[in-house]
Amino acid sequence: MSEKEVILTREGYNKLVEELHYLETKRRREVAQRIKESIEFGDLSENSEYDDAKNEQAFVEGRILQINDMLSMARVIEDNGYKSSRVAIGSYVVLLDVESGDEEEYQIVGSFEADPTNHRISNESPVGRAIMGKKAGETVQVRVPEGSLEYKILEIKKSNVKK
């Protein structure tokens, strides 16, 4: 993995820690048991169960290394409960698509936590870059391959709890 800082929300950091714990405690044991059982089938040169289990073991160990690397380079953005007047990582932002009139709420996260289908966009994405540091009421232009989009920042919240 690169030496790039990994920016995470507290929620994202906790999810990685939980995944690491699961992989190191439960998943490793399950895969080891599968390997042990597949060895009992005999000839390893033609044992697809053994090959599958070894491939799964490699995946699990690789993911453990990846998570450990990410956690060692993590900078956790804390939600201190204060209302910020500017968009920052961890903010929930309500955007208005000026052309269509559609409103969407997104959480701004680091690139490792980005999941647009769940309304979590990276601070490094085109929309994320355009709105970082902006205030509610400001309008931004976002360049896309088809031209540009215009968004108005309607609201900035530090959590998605409705008032």
Rounded distance between C-alpha atoms, residue 150 and residue 163, angstroms: 27
- Would the pTM count as exceeding 0.75? no
Rounded distance between C-alpha atoms, residue 107 and residue 53, angstroms: 38
Band (77; pLDDT cuts 50, 70, 90): confident
Q: What are the structural domains, with CATH classification, of the chain?
A: 6-77 (1.10.287.180), 92-157 (3.10.50.30)
Strand ordering across the sheet containing 147-157: 120-122, 103-109, 92-97, 147-157, 139-144
Query: For residue 100, which of 136, 135, 64, 151 has the smallest C-alpha distance?
Result: 151
Percent share of the chain, pLDDT over 90: 66
Band (28; pLDDT cuts 50, 70, 90): very high
Please name the helix (run of DSSP H) or strand (run of DSSP E) that holds residue 154, with its range, or none. strand 147-157
Tens digits of residue pLDDT in 113-161:
999 999 999 999 999 999 999 999 999 999 888 889 999 999 998 765 4
